[in-house]
A and B are shown apart, each in its own frame.
Chain A
Amino acid sequence: MKSMRIAIATAALSVLVVGFSGTSAQQPTSPTPVLTALDYLEIEQLVYRYGYALDTGADNGFAYADLYADDATFTGTNQGPSGRTYQGRERLAALARGGKRSPNFMSHWVTNVVIEPAPGGAVGKTYVGIFDIGNGGNGAKSRVDHGGIYNDVYVKTPQGWRFKSRSFFESTSGAPVQPPPAMLGTPRALSASPGPQSPNPESRNPNPGRLAAEDYIEIQQLVARYPYALDQNPDEGLSYANLFTPDAVFRQPRTEGRQNLARMASGAPHGAKYARHFLANHVIEATPDGAVGKQYLVAVDIGESAQPSSIFLGGHYEDVYAKTPEGWRFKTRTFIASATATEAK
């Protein structure tokens, strides 16, 4: 009898837990939902996954299609005289496997991601610079192909944040400054979300294998510090080497140990005001041991003294991060040059 009461209580609790989880995963119903730090970070991750899914055509295009909600649309306003809209998983997958695609092909650099809460979820806008990186850039004429913006609507589904709609607008210049309706509201504080004085329960990490907001931020900051340590290199590679764990491995060329990493960094061009390594699309994922990540790299030789700028190389980094007492560090970091020689898998 006692065991039956326990079983009933457990079942009731399970229903409550499932009910609560289901509610939290449904679309927000309030006119202006509150976005937590993790909401912002997860939407940003969705936006950064887009580049990989589109450029690689992974899973026969379905990696791209699955970034969208069931009834979602992509509109290419630059396709044909009146634009073209794609809706449905099959059509979106077909779009993603068309054109130039390859497992290591990198083309869409997405930056300036602005996200705001909106009825039903969130809206956002991003820049996209589309670079034509010819097989890593070395020996090939890499160039800026085109660019523009994405206008997005995001929705929170049981599987996480997804695109509800995404529209691409090609960049053109020459339009006079006019005050057309802003695509997003005026800048304002994120005070609608839990503020600094009210810690966000989601920002703590209740589940191993899931990253807290602080972890995402620290890993973002680790990767953001990398170009400064390499390009500005104020201390003979020491800052660069200290971004890695003592047993870390960098490839290519394969370099192990902080001393060797510092030496490698000092072998690269540098200067107090030098900017060469531009990183975008930083995707971060939790693993049982820590986290892994990847991001696009375009190395630009900014022209000095009226010389033209050029793209030195492009590709992506694949990282393994480890949480140490000093914070998150690279455990391995591998650069893979952009390549178009193979077909999309």
Chain B
Amino acid sequence: MQPPKRALQFLRWFCREDCIEEIEGDLNEMFRKNCQTSPRTAGWKFTWRVLRYFRPEFMKPFNNYQSNALGMYKSYFSIGWRNVIRNRGYSLINAGGLAIGMMVAIFIGLWVYDELSFNKYHRNYESIGQVWSFHSDPATSIVDGDKSMQYPVGATLRNNYGQYFKHVLMAWWPGNHTVAVDDKVMLKNGLFVEPGALEMLSLNMIRGSYKSLDEPHSVVLSRSTAEVFFGDEDPINKTVRLNGRMDAVVTGVYEDIPRNSNFGETQFFAPWDLWLSVNEWARRQEADWDNHPINIYVQLQPNVSMEEVNAAMKELYRKNMPADFYKTQERFDPFVQIIPMSTWHLYGNVENGKPAGGRITYVWLFAVVGVFVLVLACINFVNLSTARSEKRSKEVGVRKVVGSRKGQLIAQFLTESLVVVVVSFLFAMIMVGSLLPWFNRLTDKDTTLPLFNPVFWAMSLAFIVLTAMLAGVYPAFYLSSFQPVKVLKGVFRSGHFAALPRKVLVVVQFTTSVILIIGTIVVYQQIQFARNRPVGYQRSSLITVHVSDPAFQNKLDVIRNELRGSGVVAALTASSGPLTAIWNTTNGYEWKGKDPNMDASFAICNITTDFGETVGWEIVAGRDFSKEISTDSTEAIILNEAAVEYMGLKDPVGQEFTDVNEFGQKKWTRTIIGVVKNMVMESPYEPVRQTLYFYNPKVFLGLMHIRIDPNASAADALTKIKSVFNKNVPMAGFDYTFVDEEYARKFAQEERIGVLAGIFSSLAIFICCLGLFGLASYVAEQRTKEIGIRKVMGASVAKLWQLLSKDFMILVIIACLVACPLGYYLMTTWLLDYDYRTEVSLWVFVLTVIGAVLVTLLTVSFHAIRAALANPVKSLRSE
């Protein structure tokens, strides 16, 4: 009979090394004697006796205080380092792959940080907001809104809701204005706003103070703007002329606002009153609740929350609009809400009166991609380390025999992985440092490596330790679990099960990479699709110039004649709004057959008779405006195809179109004379808005469009045109854009994402292949003898190559099978965001799978073929 196993195990676990044999012997002897006399109780007695031995005198010293811990760790480091040096190839692959993964993670981290800290420069970040007006379409119940606010809302907020707000600031739209100092004229982005803005945005005033805008004829410049105009001189009390009409004295200079702020491009602030002084029409809006021309910014009182305020805002219209006007608006259920600054950048999509996502999806996306790429690199590390562990099995065996405990071995291998991780981190930092300017250009940001920020170093340290743990824990435990006897005897084989986790990891790696590649291809497809969308007019060789500066007032005819005579201009026109944006929308139109409940809102654009010819639009029904027909300016209107569809008209030409005011009274009626093909004026991803075109020579048109003669070179034409402008209106800056460039900017966000996605997926695949390379090399090395024997037996190179590659190919195919459905699902979900979108087609997946298989084949073949071509004599002779 055997003594109870559990009790024996327990004894061996806790008992001191030097007593265990004696005690065990005695217990065994007593057990045997007990078995002869009373066998049934022998076991219990044995167990009881074991328990009685569980006392301090016989316990193992569990706190193994090391006598020379420092020396031990030093030895770990030096052995780890020697290991790295001795196997340069593998170490390079390991460290290189990890470095690339870290570099990607760091870049993404910087980008995400920049995005998340947007607007946080302003100290009152939490309590600043912008006022939006919302209404719902009675036919569809969709709530829509905009930052455009009515003039009276400002006064209402101040007078009736003053307890909520510390600042209520009326402002004009931020935009480019001409700034002139003596004869230096430049276009700068600036904001006309009430004086409290300086304090609200907590600008860092280098000169002047928060009161600097109190006087109407004052202006506050950014540091860089002041330097451009005044160099080293003190800019204070110097005069500048804004937009050729407003004279102001520089009363302050503020430190440039960082680029990651909604006000990052603002180069000057000027008082609201100054703007009002030259825009008389605005004063007439004081009681107008219908027109929404301005912006309103607010800052809440310190103890007031956004929710509180917004609950009160919902009633603002009902309580404050003139009663009879409100009755006409009631069916649209209008209300006011404050959209907080904390949501402006990341949650720019406003739905149903609340911020609801936007850029935040991209931030999440990139964060996830970053984590994945890092995980890929760590997986590589784990795979390679465990694969190569067989080489170190003898070392582990010897160490264990000499007396190393499992904990010490684990510490040793973790230290080694720490060494590799630190080296990779250094590589990664160097790469990040040198590639940062390029990355900034790519992402249109201004990120820097915060080398002086202790938080950054703390995070990096945590990052290094985390990665070392993550990547090193599995190999460490695996290696330290080798049994010395098996290992030293030489029959140690890792067995089939050891390869399984490695295979799973390779599949995971490839799945992620394939999904990334599919994603990149689809993003590019979407961009191309949108680019190829017919724009409806000729974009190229078309310049738009802002001529709203009063300096142009009487010079426009002269300029036009000179341009026509210059020989480089093929056509000229003007319009109230640009070709690449909609500036005006109005509602309140009627036509035959209109649904009475429909809130018909249209985009409007005032143009000239030359517009069609200059921009090259296409009339599909009826005719264009004509100078000859005098009634065109008072009785004609042109619609675009989208408008016709919107209105549900069958035969629009000749029908009447009426403008009514809110009380249902007719303001004017015009006849539809023509229908024009849709022009993409807003986002290429969205359907074209229903647009109306008017020809009214009395209305001042602030934008001139110039079609450059196709026979002239663009540069040449530009110089000539510029000289005409400078000659006639030297005081106004030549504010121009090329329409095709402006249009191309609409793709900027998607393009950036496409490029970034492309880079990241290539890097991901590269890392995967690096790992595969290492693994293949290892497998080939392991099977050297086997291959030698097979060759001797007569296997061909092809057969051997197939043998070695087969395993990896199966893994890649499995990965592709998993990745394709996932990729399809993810991509279709992303595309749902776009109204105008491409289809996710089959060839994308086929192409990606073929690509992945090819790449894997190439990587593995290198080693497979090399092994297959090896001289069997050499491989069989090796020890």
Q: Do A and B bind each other?
A: no
Q: Which chain A residues have a beta carbon within 8 Å of chain B's beta carbons?
A: none
